[in-house]
C-alpha cells in the first residue's frame, strides 16, 4: 500500500537546513548523551530518517522519538507522526498478559515516585544563569585564562546533565541554551588566550547546543566568535563567511545591536581581504544599526561589551588595515574616551591599536609612549594571548620602521621584561 510522504517532517527538515545524514548523526549523538553510551551503535541511521520522510515509518521508536523531540523542540505529533491505534487489537489480547503489564507499569510508577531524582525546574535554571554571569565576570576581570575555560566547561556539563530531568520541554531548551552559552564563554576564553585549536572544538560544540536550544542569539554568538577565530588564524575569507552567517541569524532582524556587531565584524574581514568599499559600507551600516538599538532591551551578559566604544575600536582596525592610520588614530581615541574604566582588557587592546596607528604614521616616540601605557593599564593582571599577539605585532613593526632607534631598544627591553614576568 502506498503511504503519503510525511510533509510536516519534510518541511521542518527543509526549514532548518537538515539533510538526512546530518540529522541522523545529530539524533545518534543525542541518544548517546541520554543513554550514557560512548561507543557507536544504537543510534539513528540515514535510512531510518528517509523512512520517516517517506511515510514508511509513521511512529519512531521510543529512543529515536525522544531524541527527535529534543533536537527539534517539537512533539512527534507536531512533526507529522502518529502513534498506532492499538484499540483494535485489544479483543485478541491475552487477559493474563494485560494484567501483567498493568502490574509492571504500576510498580515502575511507584518506583519512580519513590526513588527517582527530582525533576529540574526554574530554580535550577536560575542558579545556572547566575553561575554563568559569575564566569563571564571572571572573564571580564582576567581575560583568556584556564580558570575561565574550566569553569565554563563545568557549567556546560552540568546544564546538559540537567536536561535529562527537565520538568518541561521549555526548561529543557533553556538548559540547552545555558550549555551553549557556557561553551561560548569557554571558546571565547580560548580565543582571547590564543588557544585556537581548543577554541575551534568548543565552538563546534556550542553551535550544536545552540541549535538544540533553537536560540538565534546564541547561534549569533558562536558565529561572531568563529569570525574572530578565523581572523586570528589569517583565514579572512572564512572570517567574512562567519560574519555573514552571524548577520543572517534571526536575532539581527529583531535587535539592531546584533546587526551592528555583525556588520562591524564583516567590515574587518573585508578590510583584510582588500575590499575597501565593502569594508567602509559595512561600517556605515553598523553605525546606522547601532543608532536604532534600544538601551533598555534585556540582553545576555556576553554582549555587554558591544556598543559605541567597541564600534569605534573595530573601526580603528578597519581604517588602519585600509592604509588610513590617521583615521584609525581618531577612532581609537574615540573608543578610549567611551570605554568604561572597568573594561581594562578592552582599554588595553584599544591602546595597542592606538599605538599601532601612531607608529604607522611614523611617530615613533608617541607610539612607544602609548604602548607603555598598556602595562600600567594591566598592572597586577595577566596579559592575555590576544594582547601578547598584538604587542608582538607592534614590536615587529617597530623594528621594521626604526631598527636602530634608541627608543626601539628601550621599548624592546621593557617588552621583554613585562613578557617574562607576567603569567
* 305-348 pLDDT per residue, tens: 899 999 999 999 999 999 999 999 999 999 999 988 878 888 99
Distance (Å, whole) CA 252 – CA 303: 13
Both 50 and 65 in a single domain? yes
Residue 143: predicted pLDDT? 59
Residue 172: predicted pLDDT? 86
> What is the mean pLDDT of the segment spanning 396-410?
86
> DSSP H helical segments within 143-255, as ranges?
146-162, 169-193, 196-213, 216-233, 236-247, 251-254
Residue 106: predicted pLDDT? 44
In sequence order, the β-bridge partners of residue 19 are none
- CA nearest to 304, candidates 334, 277, 340, 329: 340
Residue 313 lies in a domain: no
- CA nearest to 394, candidates 421, 357, 343: 357
Both 239 and 284 in a single domain? yes
Least confident interval from 11-20, 122-131, 305-314: 11-20
Question: Which one of 50, 72, 94 terminates a domain?
Answer: 72
Residue 186 lies in a domain: yes
Both 280 and 229 in a single domain? yes
pLDDT higher than 90, residue 227: yes
CATH for 286: 1.25.40.10
| CA contacts within 13 A on the Cβ side of 60 | 29
Residue 68: predicted pLDDT? 81
Neighbour-count burial for 16-40, b at 16+ CB within 10 Å, e otherwise:
eebebeebbbbbbebbbbeeeeeee
| DSSP-assigned states of every residue in 309-338 | HHHHHHHHHHHHHTT-HHHHHHHHHHHHHH
Place 258 in a pLDDT band, splitting at 50, 70 and 90: very high
Both 241 and 296 in a single domain? yes
Residue 204 lies in a domain: yes
Pick 134 or 103 by higher pLDDT: 134
- CA nearest to 375, candidates 413, 337, 404: 413
Could you read off the pLDDT of 45-75 as tens digits, one per residue? Answer: 888 999 999 888 888 888 888 778 766 656 7
Place 38 in a pLDDT band, splitting at 50, 70 and 90: very low
Compute φ and ψ for 120, nearest 5 degrees. -100, 130
Write 160-164 long-range contacts (CB < 8 A, 24+).
160/33, 160/209, 162/120, 162/124, 162/128, 163/70, 163/120, 164/34
Residue 53 lies in a domain: yes
Residue 79 lies in a domain: no
pTM: 0.68
Both 223 and 210 in a single domain? no
Residue 25 structural domain: 7-72
Both 351 and 403 in a single domain? yes
Both 206 and 232 in a single domain? no
Residue 52 lies in a domain: yes
Number of domains in the chain: 4
Place 34 in a pLDDT band, splitting at 50, 70 and 90: low
Residue 340 lies in a domain: no
Amino acid at each position: 500500500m502506498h503511504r503519503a510522504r510525511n510533509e510536516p517532517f519534510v518541511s521542518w527538515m527543509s526549514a532548518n537546513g537538515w539533510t538526512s545524514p546530518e540529522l541522523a548523526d545529530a539524533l545518534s549523538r543525542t541518544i548517546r548523551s541520554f543513554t550514557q553510551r560512548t561507543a557507536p551503535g544504537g543510534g539513528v541511521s540515514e535510512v531510518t530518517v528517509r523512512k520517516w520522510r517517506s511515510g514508511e515509518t509513521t511512529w519512531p521508536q521510543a529512543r529515536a522519538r525522544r531524541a527527535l523531540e529534543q533536537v527539534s523542540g517539537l512533539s512527534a505529533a507536531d512533526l507529522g507522526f502518529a502513534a498506532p491505534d492499538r484499540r483494535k487489537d485489544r479483543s485478541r489480547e491475552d487477559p493474563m498478559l494485560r494484567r501483567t503489564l498493568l502490574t509492571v507499569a504500576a510498580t515502575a510508577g511507584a518506583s519512580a515516585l519513590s526513588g527517582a531524582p527530582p525533576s529540574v525546574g526554574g530554580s535550577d535554571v536560575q542558579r545556572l544563569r547566575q553561575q554563568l554571569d559569575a564566569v563571564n565576570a571572571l572573564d571580564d576581570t582576567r581575560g583568556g585564562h584556564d580558570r575561565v575555560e574550566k569553569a565554563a566547561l563545568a557549567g556546560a556539563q552540568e546544564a546538559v546533565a540537567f536536561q535529562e530531568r527537565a520538568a518541561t520541554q521549555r526548561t529543557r531548551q533553556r538548559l540547552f541554551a545555558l550549555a551553549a552559552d557556557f561553551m561560548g564563554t569557554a571558546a571565547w576564553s580560548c580565543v582571547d588566550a590564543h588557544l585556537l585549536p581548543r577554541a575551534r572544538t568548543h565552538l563546534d560544540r556550542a553551535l550544536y547546543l545552540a541549535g538544540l536550544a533553537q536560540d538565534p542569539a546564541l547561534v549569533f554568538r558562536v558565529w561572531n566568535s568563529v569570525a574572530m577565530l578565523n581572523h586570528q588564524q589569517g583565514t579572512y575569507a572564512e572570517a567574512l563567511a562567519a560574519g555573514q552567517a552571524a548577520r543572517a541569524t534571526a536575532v539581527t532582524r529583531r535587535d539592531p545591536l546584533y546587526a551592528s556587531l555583525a556588520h562591524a565584524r564583516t567590515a574587518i574581514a573585508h578590510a583584510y581581504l582588500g575590499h575597501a568599499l565593502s569594508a567602509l559600507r559595512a561600517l556605515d551600516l553598523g553605525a546606522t544599526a547601532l543608532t536604532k538599538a534600544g538601551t533598555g532591551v534585556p540582553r545576555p551578559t556576553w554582549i555587554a561589551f558591544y556598543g559605541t566604544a567597541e564600534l569605534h575600536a573595530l573601526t580603528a582596525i578597519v581604517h588602519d588595515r585600509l592604509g588610513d592610520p590617521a583615521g584609525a588614530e581618531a577612532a581609537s581615541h574615540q573608543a578610549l574616551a567611551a570605554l568604561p574604566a572597568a573594561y581594562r582588557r578592552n582599554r588595553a587592546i584599544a591602546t595597542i591599536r592606538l599605538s599601532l596607528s601612531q607608529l604607522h604614521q611614523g611617530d615613533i616616540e608617541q607610539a612607544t609612549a602609548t604602548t607603555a601605557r598598556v602595562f600600567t593599564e594591566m598592572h597586577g593582571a595577566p596579559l592575555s594571548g590576544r594582547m601578547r599577539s598584538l604587542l608582538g605585532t607592534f614590536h615587529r613593526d617597530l623594528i621594521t620602521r626604526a631598527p636602530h632607534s634608541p627608543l626601539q631598544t628601550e621599548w624592546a627591553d621593557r617588552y621583554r621584561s613585562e613578557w617574562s614576568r607576567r603569567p
